[in-house]
Structure 1
Amino acid sequence: MIGKYAFCPTSGASLSREAHYDEQGRPERVPQSDNLSPNAALESPLTMGKRRSSRRALTTYFRRCHRRHADPNEDLGRRAALAIGRLKRRACGRQERDLIVWFALGERLARDGFDVDWMTSHAEPRCPDCSGRLTYAMEPDGPVGRCGGSCDDTGDDRLDTIRETVCSLFAQTFPDDPSPDTDALELL
């Protein structure tokens, strides 16, 4: 992931607060080793995160985030790792983004009976086109998220696009389950 929730896309390690600047002035942060990523500082390059991370990185991020909210649950960890693997294998195009996989994972785990409300604290919906931040407005049908960077002039609700992409990935990955309704997703 990028932005506030960025992590190392290779190992899933947390990133240092301190930024280092490359020869072109772009900020980069150092992956921090911990018990979930013991060699992260040695094996991972400087980064600010990526839109698409490895299966290992997203699984590590999930475990780290869950630890902040509850005692480790081995069954939840196993199911999450399996679901992330399946989601990553089936994803293509926009579906491959960590954000989309994260929200589809939340839907899968909620259907398996796990509490996933805490997952919303670890991902921020971003524009599916430019990955910019969204601006929100309250309309009669509920909140609407528009691209804060104005990457398109249509003013479409980017949250709808994100929901449709999540539902599409979920339906492709778990064809035996009923497809989720875009307005009834657990995390969006």
Structure 2
Amino acid sequence: MRWLSISVSLVALLLTGCTSTSDLIEQKKGDPEIITTPAEARAEVHSLLENASNVIGGNWHIEESPLPEECDVSSHSDGVYWSGGRRQDGLTDIEGPTNRILHYWQSLGFALETTSYAAEHRAITARAPGGVTLSYGLDLGVILLDVEGRCVGGDWYTIREDIASTLPDPYEKQYGTPPSVPPSEPLPHPAEPS
């Protein structure tokens, strides 16, 4: 009987200890225990990127997407999440920035994984509450910071359309401002057959 109890405990431990990449993605995509609005989720991504880049210091190229992506909260495509990134080029110090962000994310209680495949490479993945994933990569003098935010309930299409309507036309630089065209006269209705 004791062997059965130990075997069941061991199997349960092994099953809970092994997590695949797809499991981690699913965990990120929805945590019903944490309730936030889409606006708060978007602001959180910006704040996490801003704070991390300030801790590291230097000049950053900002790549935050104003538009959300679809995700699943409790059913298919019933939520949204934001992602963003920042890039800094020309670094000669590898350890300084890496240690600053590592200690900062540790102080926030994030779960961390670190890797390095070469002397000039450093990578850190941080998992924050609510399914937020942050990543830091330094390779050949370039730092990349990325955040994939939490999935919150919301109508992806409506939110995306509302935000897109406030953004400048992405084709305006290439094609110029479209000329204003006066409304055309309505076409006459075809004659009804007699």
Q: Is the radius of gyration larger for structure 1 or structure 2?
A: 2
Is the TM-score greater than 0.5?
Answer: no
Structure that is richer in strand per residue? 2
TM-score by length of 1: 0.23
Structure that is richer in helix per residue? 1
* Greater relative contact order structure (CA < 8 Å, 6+ sep): 2
